[in-house]
Amino acid sequence: MSEPAVKVEAFHHHDEEGTRLGFWLFLFTELLLFGAFFIVYGVYRTAHLNDFKIAAESLNTGIGTTNTIILLASSLTMVLSLNAMKAGRVKLAKSMLLFTMALGTTFLVIKGFEWNAKFAHHLFLQTSAAIAEGKGSPLLTPGPDMLPDGQVLFYGLYFIMTGTHALHIIIGVVWMGIVYFWISKGSINPDNAGVLERCGLYWHLVDVIWIFLFPLYYLVA
């Protein structure tokens, strides 16, 4: 195919509000994605109420509350970072962003310890390879110490839902790292803070999802 010599300028369409609206639409897909999880949780909670209550007892409310407060605080620092950026105080915005990343990481570390404790109690969903090696947890080996179905479902949902949430936190922290780098380079600046703003929206949505996960797993036992 012959390429003519004309070089046409690439089309630059920049619509900050439209981009933000589109990002909100993307957030809805995240919301509906977790919404499906919540439907599954709701159905199995109805079906296995007692097992869910017994299993939920094993989760530490103190740790859950701490993590909730950490995430809420990170949302605060995130919004302060954006406000500072909009007010032209780039340095403050950067340090607030660092705070947010630190809080997000703390959340992950605490979550990691919590998960680890559950693994130690064999409440993990072993892979079939582990069962073959005879290392299966009491969940899986048929026998008197096997957990009831409802509790297995509870832990299954607990791991997959908090796991998916943790994955979002990891993505958020990495994204913030990139944003931090761009702020340092100056490509994100008070006049062009759209990326920081969308990163913030994403982070707040992850927080909103945790706001619902927290009572469902740690409180209504």
Q: Which of residues 126-155 bind another protein (CB under 8 A)?
A: 126-128, 131, 139-140, 148-150, 152-153, 155
Sign of CA dihedral 175, 180, 186, 192: positive
What contacts 43, CB < 8 A, 6 or more positions away? none
Residues 85-124: x/- map of binding to another protein (CB under 8 A)? -xxxx--x--------------------------------
Site for another protein in 162-201 (CB under 8 A): 190-194, 200-201
Which of 131, 150, 151 lies closest to 142, judged by CA? 131
Stretch of 105-113, 167-175, 177-185, 212-220 contacting another protein, by CB under 8 A: 212-220
Q: According to the binding rule CB under 8 A, does residue 32 interact with another protein?
A: yes
Name which of 177 and 215 has its Cβ closer to another protein: 215
DSSP characters over 63-130:
HHHHHHHHHHHHHHHHHHHHHHHHTT-HHHHHHHHHHHHHHHHHHHHHHHHHHHHHHHTT-S---HHH
Options 125, 132, 170, 171; binder of another protein; rule CB under 8 A: 125
Name which of 22 and 112 has its Cβ closer to another protein: 22
* Helix, strand, or coil (residue 166): helix
CB 210, min distance to another protein, A: 10
What contacts 123, CB < 8 A, 6 or more positions away? 58, 137, 139, 155
Pull the structure tokens for residue 53: 């209550």
CB 181, min distance to another protein, A: 20
CB 202, min distance to another protein, A: 10
Count interface residues toward another protein (CB under 8 A). 94
Q: According to the binding rule CB under 8 A, does residue 17 interact with another protein?
A: yes
d(CA 139, CA 220): 23
CB 200, min distance to another protein, A: 8
Name which of 173 and 213 has its Cβ closer to another protein: 213
Alpha carbon 102 to its chain centroid, in Å, reads: 15
Name which of 156 and 166 has its Cβ closer to another protein: 156
**Which of the 8 DSSP states describes residue 59?**
S
Q: According to the binding rule CB under 8 A, does residue 56 interact with another protein?
A: no
